Structure 1
Amino acid sequence: MKVLVTGASGNVGRYVTNELLKMGEQVVATGTDLVKLQSLFGETVDKALLDFTDSTTYLKALNGVDRVFLMRPPHLGKPEDLFPFIDAMKQCGIRLVSFLSLMGVEKNTIPPHHKIEKYIESAGIPYAHIRPGFFMQNISGIHSVEIKEKNQVFVPAGNSKTSFIDAEDIGLSIATLLHSPEKYQNTAHTITGSKALDYFQIADILSKVTGRKITYMKPSYLKYRNYYIKNRGLDKAYVNVTVALYFMTCMGTAKAVTTDFTKLTGKQPRSFEEFAVKHINCFK
């Protein structure tokens, strides 16, 4: 039987797909852009259209599948948007679903991930939730613009610390869970890096790697929000969510360090310095 990967062209999904292929699994890569999936994976995977807002795409995507990597598309803000697909997984007798959740969400009912976890559990589908810390890709992605153009890390995180994890390591963790469904039934795993760093340390590491002086600006929530909406032109709802996440980070929710990644994979998580060296082009 095959493993279905939702969001297969995204940061985590593509790593989940590649790691599953290395393990000899047959993969159905899904999304709403089949051309992009073809360009990423060629003939190494099956491809299927899957749109959570269109229930007519569910059964074809789930055909011949017994395990699922499930992630919530960022543009779907309501947890209820995923409930119909979860119901379809139950009808199809899925042996294990690994849902990409959030670190600490078991104690935080505000993010949609909390209700999605609970709905999966109440549906009776065997699950293996993955709860990662902040992605290192947040720095090389959305926040790289200020690093490249202004030599600044522009994040409203105060003096707080974050146990960053590479999306590639998250992908390996998820693939490990899905490769051994009986072993990991009804479990949850909080995946972090091996140490927590504040953004002054992030700036110092980036300075060392790039050979430029990178400064952590430590903006206020309001200054950050105004800049990202007015100067960067980002969607107001998206920026508001990031402000809320950084507020929680300042409350200490992102600093915990776990050994779950090593327990699952037998490897050490990639350090931020190793990540910065590997993705140096994102910061030039």
Structure 2
Amino acid sequence: MKILVTGASGNVGSYVVKELLNMDEIVVAGGTKTQKLINKFGSKVEAVLFDFTDETTFDNALKDVDRVFLMRPPHLGKPEDLYPFIDAMKRHNIKLVSFLSLMGVENNTIPPHHKIEKYIEKMDISYAHVRPGFFMQNISGVHSVEIREKDEIFIPAGKSKTSFIDAKDIGLSVATLLHEHVKYKNTAHTITGPHALDYYQVAETLSKVTGRKITYTKPGFLKYRRYYINKRGLDKTYVNVTVALYFMTRMGTAKDVTNEFYKLTGKKPQTLEEFARDNLQSFVK
């Protein structure tokens, strides 16, 4: 049988695909742009049209599939947006769904991930929730613009600490859960990097790696929201979700460090300094 990977061209999804192929699994890569998937993975995967907002794409994407990696697209801010596909997974008798959730979400009802987890469980679909810390790729991705252009980290996290994890490590964790689906049936895994850092420490690390003085500006929520919507032109729903996540971070929900990644994979998670050196081009002017 096959494994459907949603969001297969994204940060985590692409690593999930890569690791599953290393495990000799048959992978169906789902996305709204199949040519992009073909260009990325070639003949190694079966590229299928899949769109959470188009129920006519569900059955074909789930054909001969018995396991699913489920990732909520950032632009879909309502948990209900994923319910029709979860219903479809139930109809197709999926053996295990690994949902990319969020660290601490089991005790926090604000992010959409909480209700999505609960709906999967309510539908009695076997699950292996993955609850990672914040992605290191957030720093090298959406937040890298201010780092490159202004030597600033513009994130409303206050003095809070975050146990950042590399999406590559998340991908390996997810692939392990899907590959050993019987062993990990109805489980949840909080995976983090090896250290909890505040953004002053992140700035110090990036300064060390880039050879430039990087400063953490510690903006407030409203200033951050206005800037990312009006200046950066990012989708309002996406920005609102990030504001909620950084609010959670200020409450201390992102600071815990676990050894769950090592328990799953037998490997040590990447440090932020190692990640920054591997992705130096993201921070170079």
- TM superposition score normalised by structure 1: 0.98
> What are the Cα deviations for residues 198-249 of structure 1, in whole angstroms up to 9, with x where unaligned?
1011001101101111111112222222222222222233222222221211
Q: Tell me which residue corresponds to 1:126.
A: 126
Q: Tell me which residue corresponds to 1:87.
A: 87
Q: CA deviation at 1:47?
A: 1.0
Give the letter aligned to residue 170 of structure 1.
Answer: I
Q: Tell me which residue corresponds to 2:161.
A: 161
Q: Tell me which residue corresponds to 2:73.
A: 73
Give the letter aligned to residue 277 of structure 2.
Answer: V
> What are the Cα deviations for residues 52-95 of structure 1, in whole angstroms up to 9, with x where unaligned?
12111111111111110011111112211111111111111111
| Contact kept in structure 1, 2:75 and 2:235, CA below 8 Å | no
| Contact kept in structure 1, 2:111 and 2:244, CA below 8 Å | no
What is the correspondence of 1:29-68 to structure 2 with a 5 Å cutoff?
29-68=29-68
Q: Where does structure 2 lack aligned partners over 5 or more consecutive residues?
A: none
- Where does structure 1 differ by over 3 angstroms across 4 or more consecutive aligned residues? none
> What are the Cα deviations for residues 141-185 of structure 1, in whole angstroms up to 9, with x where unaligned?
111011101111111111110000011100000000000010000
Give, in whole Å, the separation in 2 of the partners of 1:203 and 1:240. Answer: 24
What is the correspondence of 1:5-24 to structure 2 with a 5 Å cutoff?
5-24=5-24
Q: Tell me which residue corresponds to 1:234.
A: 234
Give, in whole Å, the separation in 2 of the partners of 1:224 and 1:63. Answer: 43
In the alignment, is residue 170 of structure 1 matched against residue 209 of structure 2?
A: no
Q: Tell me which residue corresponds to 2:273.
A: 273
Give, in whole Å, the separation in 2 of the partners of 1:56 and 1:224. Answer: 38
SS at structure 2 position matched to 1:255: coil
Over the residues paired in the alignment, what is the CA RMSD in angstroms?
Answer: 1.0
Using the TM superposition, name which of 49-58 and 136-145 deviates more. 49-58
Q: Tell me which residue corresponds to 1:190.
A: 190
Using the TM superposition, name which of 42-51 and 239-248 deviates more. 239-248
Give the letter aligned to residue 37 of structure 1.
Answer: L
In the alignment, is residue 200 of structure 1 matched against residue 207 of structure 2?
A: no
Q: CA deviation at 1:250?
A: 1.1
Q: CA deviation at 1:279?
A: 0.3
Give the letter aligned to residue 78 of structure 1.
Answer: K
Q: Where does structure 1 lack aligned partners over 5 or more consecutive residues?
A: none
SS at structure 2 position matched to 1:130: strand
- TM superposition score normalised by structure 2: 0.97
Matched-pair identity in %: 72
Alpha carbons of 1:240 and 1:87: their partners in 2 closer, same or farther (altered >3 Å)? closer
Give, in whole Å, the separation in 1 of the partners of 2:233 and 2:55. Answer: 33
> What are the Cα deviations for residues 19-73 of structure 1, in whole angstroms up to 9, with x where unaligned?
0000111100001100100110000001111111211111111111111001111
Q: Aligned pairs, how many? A: 284
Give the letter aligned to residue 67 of structure 2.
Answer: R
Give the letter aligned to residue 160 of structure 1.
Answer: S
What is the correspondence of 1:91-170 to structure 2 with a 5 Å cutoff?
91-170=91-170
Using the TM superposition, name which of 163-172 and 82-91 deviates more. 82-91
